[in-house]
Amino acid sequence: MSAPAPVFGPSREPSPVVGPPFWLLLELTYRCPLHCVFCYNPTDFANVGPELPTAEWLRVLREARALGAVQLGLSGGEPLAREDLEEIVAEAHALGFYINLITSGVGLSEARIAALRSAGLDHIQLSFQDSTRELNDFLSSTRTFELKAQVAALIRKHGFPMVLNVVLHRLNIDHVGEILEMAERLGAQYVELANTQYYGWAWHNRELLLPSRAQLERAEATTQRFRQRVGAAMQVYFVVPDYHETRPKACMNGLGSVFLGIAPDGLALPCHAARMLPGLDLPNVSGQSLRAIWYDSPAFNRFRGDAWMKEPCRSCPEKVRDFGGCRCQAYLLTGDPDAADPVCDLSPDHHLVTQAVARAEQGGAVARQLTFRDHRISIPVVVEAG
Amino acid sequence: MTAIPGTARPAIAHGKRLQWEPAQEAHVLLYPEGMVKLNGSAGAIMSRCDGARTVAEIVADLERTYNVSGLGADVEAFVALAVEKQWLELRP
């Protein structure tokens, strides 16, 4: 009897036939009480139109489920800012989704967690910014550290699997050992140590967030020692920062392959950051069916297959594995969304990545200050070499 | 891999969910932010792991349903693998 293969993961070969959007992510709102410097939300989210009403979110759920979507992420912003979250969860549960709430924990009272439990929520992923109150509160520009610890206790008390997420960068990556010990104290079953990906606010703050190679190697060694000590009691995922790699990530398993995101204003996204890609006429769920958007819209077909690729990707045997890497990163770094992801050392633009890393090795830019995510600030996307 | 006694009662592990997905024509196991698509035999075994039936009872049910014999070793090996992967947990 052969072992079943995971559906998500880099080993999956692209199918010539367009499959269902297995993973549906609803970014219910851009409102968030936190101001994290590494947030991937667009830096001009203050200009995005009004949020979809409840009935539209429920229609999106029904149509996505009919297409075969099964994993549901509820995110944002802070999804708890939506007062109809329980109603959305209840409908999703009735439809048969496995429902993941991705939250800062702010607003998760005991009454609310109980209501979400009885509505059918399956799991809560709680974010921490650091193992120390000082840095957690500084990075998010809030006083939320104690509150998050209380929320972690509530998550356990109400029988949810405990999943902690910590975004890593130069300012906290040296605390990985303490972060893992904190996760152990809080009773986490899964921990995601997700190195910052440079989109949105994180792109704007990149020079101050990129870790050095020495920091990264220490953090990986610490994580490995921790894994050996705790064994199967906790699963620790260490998402490597691709700037330090020589091959790109298989972003989204290829755009239009398994992931469908819906932004607060109803824009349908083939990846979290796709709103910034030029010339991609993103469809809005208002007034059209999800089936038409997923299968027929130019935006979702734009990066399917490999006809869009340029050299060196087009003739590269590895294109079936990494799909040319991340389109948003290619655009941000080179100004061309069809270029090879410059993380790849076969890319003619790879020096843009190595130069950024070299600056990080020297301690990074000192002339700039961190910019905190804020609806009062609106920053246009600045492309590095465009 | 630890041996699975025939008297053990496997159940879907806490926080995970098994369901039939018509769009994939397969059983899938769902867990935080992930999904495993099961092949036919894995789906047939796991859909019988309800925490009430013993491994021996599951083997007998499968042999009866599919009109075959000698499935014991294969089923036990799969259950052991699934326990190791934390898809299943054993109830006494």
CB nearest to B86's CB, from A7, A71, A232: A232
Confidence of residue A11 (pLDDT cuts 50, 70, 90): very low
Statement: residue A366 has pLDDT above 60? no
Note whether A17 contacts B: Cβ–Cβ < 8 A: no
Percent of chain A predicted with pLDDT > 70: 94
Chain A touched by B20 (CB under 8 Å): no
Measured from the Cβ of residue B61, the count of other Cβ atoms closer than 10 Å reads 15
Q: Phi and psi of A348, rounded to 5°?
A: -65, -10
Selected residue of A12, A25, A70, A252 to mutate for chain B interface (largest B Cβ count, 10 A): A70
Q: What is the mean pLDDT of residues A239-254?
A: 93
pLDDT for residue A5: 40
Whether A8 and B14 lie within 8 Å, measured CB to CB: no
pLDDT band, residue A385 (cuts 50/70/90): low
Q: What is the mean pLDDT of chain A?
A: 91
Whether residue A386 is predicted with pLDDT greater than 50 in this model: the reply is: no
Contacts for A21 with CB less than 8 Å, ≥ 6 apart = A64, A67, A68, A69, A258, A259, A260, A294
Percent of chain A at pLDDT > 90 equals 83
Distance (Å, rounded) from C-alpha B3 to C-alpha B17? Answer: 24
Tokens of B86: 């934390």
pLDDT of residue B1: 58
Q: With contact defined as beta carbons under 8 Å apart, do A237 and A192 qualify?
A: yes
Q: What is the per-residue pLDDT across A248-266, written as a single tens digit (0 to 9) for each?
A: 999 999 999 999 999 999 9
**Is A364 a residue whose pLDDT tops 80?**
no
Contact (Cβ atoms closer than 8 angstroms) between residue A378 and residue A41: no
pLDDT in tens, A95-153: 999 999 999 999 999 999 999 999 999 999 999 999 999 999 988 888 999 999 999 99
The verdict on a CB contact (< 8 Å) between B24 and A20 is yes
Rounded to an integer, the average pLDDT of B37-52 is 96
Nearest 5°: phi and psi at B73?
A: -65, -40
Does the beta-carbon distance from A6 to B35 stay under 8 Å? yes
A191: left (phi over 0), alpha (psi -120 to 50) or beta: beta
Mean pLDDT across A330-344: 97
Q: Is the pLDDT of residue A365 over 70?
A: no
Q: Is the pLDDT of residue A379 over 90?
A: no
pLDDT per residue as tens digits for the range A288-312:
999 999 999 999 999 999 999 999 9
Residue A54 distance to chain B (closest CA, Å): 24
Whether B89 has its CB under 8 Å from any CB of chain A: the answer is no
Residue of A nearest to B42 (CA): A4
Of A35, A26, A27, nearest in space to A61 by CA: A26
Candidate from A1, A3, A68 with C-beta closest to B23: A68
pLDDT digits (tens, 9 = 90+) for A36-95: 999 999 999 999 999 999 999 999 999 999 999 999 999 999 999 999 999 999 999 999
* pLDDT surpasses 70 at A162: yes
A10 has pLDDT over 50: no
Mean pLDDT of the A196-218 span: 93
Given a cut of 80, is residue A13 above it in pLDDT?
A: no
Q: Is the ipTM of this structure higher than 0.85?
A: yes
Q: Kindly provide the b/e burial profile for residues A124-161, where b requires at least 16 CB atoms within 10 angstroms of the residue's own CB.
A: bbbbbbbbeeebbbbbbbbebbeebbebbebbeeeebb
- pLDDT at residue A234 above 50? yes
